[in-house]
Structures are given as structure tokens and as C-alpha cells.
Chain A
């Protein structure tokens, strides 16, 4: 049994309604990529089947499973152990032989056909067009498409593009069907955004005899959501970096860094020292770029109008220790001692743990960056019961912060004149925004003296 445990790749626990309660990284990651939340119903179909079967039979079962995570085919050998009578009554999962392979390239023709079938089934307005794209017959079902229906019945035999506005095309319509197929468009009277599909009818070689037209909406019609939708439209636009730019750029940046590191460490063969150094520069520039991207994504989040944080009791000592643990490598590299004289459980704030940790990592990271070698960075805690606050002070033995800088330092993109130290000028700004969101504040306590000291003040936990 001992040996079996050492082969384990991931472990997970589900409850009596097959919701995944906790899982090791590979499983949690797969679950998330399949669209699941934690805790939430197990989203990997084959595993869900096995868990249901195990629970129904009350038997320990063991099978091979495979799943598609969007990029890779993941497979492994899973053992499902139902926890009869125990709290929750779900199952425990043990997975070994975890392997992930690039999925075979799907047959493009099959994929295209499947997409066509999906569009055909989801279309809320369909029409049959003649070879000049004039509407011959039509069927409009969308509840917000009354205007379109009227227009089409009034102007029989008109060209379909007379009744819809094609986005981004001012050209005289109708254009060639290949250009119109897949075009985004707006329909009269509908708030939703639509996509037009034009599929030729008739022999595949030679000119088409006519077309099938499908108008497919991006999301189903929901009268209640209409108002809310327009209100939050602004918001979704501003979160473009976190939602679309960061995920796309992260992989190429990671590859740049990895390759540059390979060159720098001469893993691929001997190289002159200068080139190795250049590669080192590329790697650190890549790391800077990655960090900047994270900062920009955070910036978007904290600047969103609906940004809010959770409220939970946070042990400041625990948070400080974890931040120190994460930054330990950097501190050791400069032989800096991290001094944390905070007893466990003595200073409890009401805040969100994740955000407090984020602020502390930023503060401790700054302290390490601006401290001389062989110095000490101290994190101290203080509870002021009469003021109802808990505070943490991070102090270093660096040059300190001048009085005129103490205010500016929290500004967006403020670099205080430094150019090439790898910072984005966003860290302290984000931290101070986070502190305010948790009804606390972040400030400099000893401007003008040597050795900077930053104090994070948060509301005291009064719940017990």
C-alpha cells in the first residue's frame, strides 16, 4: 500500500452530490479546464461516471480514464473509494499513471461540419437565399426579432443585407458570400450581437445555386438580463488585459524565458560568455514582462467599479510567515535575514487572506530589493483594540524614503526616477488599492529617516 501511495499523481475528495471538494493540483487543474469550480460538480465526465458508479454500488472501483482538457488528452488510472457512512458520504479518488499528450489534430472537415450543424441548430433566424442572396423563404423565431420579421415580410425578394448591418463592412452589399460567412452583425430591434452564416447550396464545384442563411446570436435571449447586460458592458471592456491579453501572452513569454535560460546556462552546448550574458538579459527582461502583465491584470481588477474583497478572519502572523516563505529564496540570495517576531493567532484582522498575502509579498519583496546585503528585514504586528485595528509594519535597513516621496510613492506608475530595476511602478499602487478595498490603509511611517517602514492597517476581527 505504501508503494502505491508513492505512485500517486493526484488525490481528490467528492461529496454525496459528486461535487469535488478538494483536489491536488493536476486534478484541480483538469477539473477547472473542463469548466468546473472548486467546490463544484466534478466536471470531468469519465471521472463523474466512475464516482457515481462507485457511490451507487458502494464498491471500490478502479479504471483507466481519459479526458480532453481543451489542449491535451489526459489519461490515467483512477481508484474510486466510496466513503460510506462517513461525513459527506462521497468518494475519495486516487489517480496514478497520470499522462498528458497533445490531442490528435481533429479532422478539419469533420470539425467544420460539426460547427455548421451547431449553427444550424442554434440559429434564431434562418432563410433560404437565391444565387444573388435575395431572400426566398425565411423563418424568424428569436423573441427580439419582430422588426426583422416585419421587414422581411414587407420587402419580399430583397437582398438580406438590406435588413441587417454588417459590422466593419462599409462596402456596398452584398459582397461575395465567402466574405459574409461568419461576419458579425446587428439586427434591428435586438440588443444582442449576431453572427451570420452563409452556406452555399448546390454542387460544390461551380457557382452555388443559392444559400442557406443562419443568424446565430452570441447568447440566448433573456429579457431580465437585458438591463444588467448593458450596465456591465462597460466593465467587460475594461478588463481586456486580465481576460484576454494575459492568458494569450503568458505562454510565449514563458517560452522566451525558458529558452533564454537554456542558452544562458549553456545547456545546448558551449557558448561565448558574452552571449550567455545576453541570454541572461533576455530572460530577466522576459520575467519583467511577465510580472508587468500580472500587475496590469491586477490593476484592472482593483480599478473595476465593482471590485470587492471577502471578509474573513486573517491571522496576520500566518500571512507574514507565508509571505516570508515565498520570498525566502530572494532574501537568501542577498543574505538578508527575515525577522518575524509575531506569535501565532495573536493578531487577527477582518480581511481577505489572499489579498493580505499579496500586499505582504509586495512589501517584503520591495524591502529585500532595496536593502543592502547582510541586513535584516523585520515584520512586526500591533493590535490597537481601542481603535479597532490590526497593523503590520515591514521595515528594512535600506536608504529609506524621502519626505517628498512618501505621498507620491503610492501613485500609479510611480518609479521615483528609477529606470532599470525591473519594477512596473504598479506594485505599491495595487497594494494600497487592495488595502482600501479591505477598509484598511497602507502608508509610510518614517519618511525622511534611513530604513523604510511601511505599515498596513486593517480592521480588527471582532466576530469572536
Chain B
């Protein structure tokens, strides 16, 4: 699951996160680390020690790459999919408004991915908390009060509702019962597809994204079944994502409830299985 492209993005994003933190530290002046670039490198190295953080950024990189690949292979617009167009043109002004805001966030996300960046405001709250904890312990920070202040600044700037994942989740909620139409990749685009899949199967969004990766076919098939798709629709999604891979046989025999139960029981490497 780790290719060079993923690795490069992972490195880039780690550096970017470290830089965002370093930017909120005061200038150290003479005698301390001689340049902020060194500080950024040191912080990035510190961040890379945390497995859960790496796992999260890995998922982000995979989403970015998958979205790009879908554009090349299946001409699926990475930002404005047909479904998104429909939502923006919705007669319900509330949905149109939320869709527009979420679209802007999606466009920023794709731009950030091309630059291998990841704003801290885009992280889920738990991941952000973890990242800040790890950064605060970095040996390269000479004064703990500085770290404290930087954390305070970053925390007060944070609002999950403003993040891309938050905006899309809000859009998916606003679609009410209609989320099943977002489970058609060609129609919805990857971002809405992943959020709708997460919403309908009660999984974290990161896990829904990972399921779409190569060699996670069984998990994807199970998730799609749990979300209520029939065999033909599941096969279409496989064909779009990985043309050379086939959907597992016998899915029709698996009831939606059983699929849901199986999903709940299974954990993911790198992601803590949730107790529920």
C-alpha cells in the first residue's frame, strides 16, 4: 500500500504540518537552531515517530492519488462531479449553499495535494490533538511555553465544520435519504463517494477511503454491500476503481445486515478498531 508516490506525498505533508507549527513559534534568534528550516526538519522527524499520524496522512495521500487516477482513467472530475453540480443547482437554498462551500473546500484540498501540503485545520480533532501532543515533545523546542502558545493558537483557529471532511459530511447529511446516489463513483466523484460510504456504513471516513485502495477489494465489497448496493452496482464501482480486479463472488447471498455486522467486527491495520 506504500508506493513512491505515496511516500513522497507523506514526506511533503509531514514537512508542511511541521512548518505550520514552526511558523507559530517565536523567532529563536542567535544561538538557538540556526534556521527555521532546521526547526521544520526536526519537527517533521518528530511527527514521523507517531504511527497513528502517519496512518492518517497515508490515507490523505491515497485519497489524493485515487482522485487523480480516476480523473486520468475514467475522466471523473476531481472537483466538480455531476452530482455536485446537481447539488449546487438544488432548489433547496440550504443544500445549494452547503454544496458550494464544500466544493470550495474540495478544490482547496486538491490544490494542497498537488503541492503535497496538508493544513492542520483539515485534520480530524483527535488527529490534530495527537499531532500537537507529539510536536510539543519535540526536543528541538527549547522553551515549552512557546510550544504551549503555538498549540493555543492552532487550537483556537480550528473548526471541524470548516474543514473539507466536515463540510462534505454536512452536505451528505443534508442529502438525507438520497445518499445512495452518491455511491456511484462516476456520478459523485471520489470525495462525495467516500463520505457517503462512511456515512451509510457508520465507519470513519478514513477507513472508507482505505477500502477503495488496491488489494482491499473484500473490504470495499463488504462496505458497498453494507451501504445497500446490489451486485451490479458493486461491480460497476470495482470496474471504475480497479478495472483489472473483480468484485468477490457471492455477494448477493450476503444480506445488508450481515455485511454491516462483518464490517463492525473488522479492524484495519494502523487504525484502532472502535468499541461499539
- Which residues from chain A sit less than 8 Å from chain B, CB to CB? 3, 7, 53-54, 57-64, 75-77, 79, 81, 84, 96-97, 99
Contacts and interface: CB of A to CB of B under 8 A. Distances in A.
Nearest to A76: B173
B27 interface: no
Contacts of A62: 159-161, 163, 166, 169-170
Given A64-B173, A75-B173, A99-B176, A59 B129 contact: yes
A64 B175 CA distance: 12
A79 B173 CA distance: 13
B126 interface: yes
Contacts of A75: 173
Given A59-B125, A59-B128, A62-B161, A97 B166 contact: no
A269 to B, nearest CB: 27
Interface in B154-190: 155-156, 158-161, 163, 166, 169-170, 172-174, 176
Number of contact residues on B: which range applies? 20 to 34
Given A3-B97, A53-B125, A64-B169, A59 B176 contact: no
Chain A interface SS verdict (over half): strand
Contacts of A81: 159
B261 to A, nearest CB: 13
A163 B98 CA distance: 67
Given A59-B158, A59-B160, 18 more contacts: A53-B125, A53-B126, A60-B158, A60-B159, A60-B160, A60-B161, A61-B125, A62-B163, A62-B170, A64-B169, A64-B172, A77-B170, A77-B174, A79-B159, A84-B156, A96-B170, A97-B94, A99-B176
A97 B199 CA distance: 15
Contact of B94 (A7, A53, A61, A64): A7
Interface in B126-155: 126, 128-129, 155
Nearest to A56: B129
A237 B159 CA distance: 53
A420 B62 CA distance: 75
B199 A64 contact: yes
Contacts of B160: 59-63, 79
8 contacts: A59-B129, A59-B160, A60-B161, A64-B172, A75-B173, A79-B161, A96-B94, A96-B170
A77 B169 contact: yes
B173 A58 contact: no
Contacts of B173: 64, 75-77, 97
Contacts of A7: 94, 97-98
B152 to A, nearest CB: 9
Interface string B78-90: 0000000000000
A57 B130 CA distance: 10
Contact of B126 (A3, A57, A58, A97): A57
Given A7-B94, A57-B126, A63 B159 contact: no
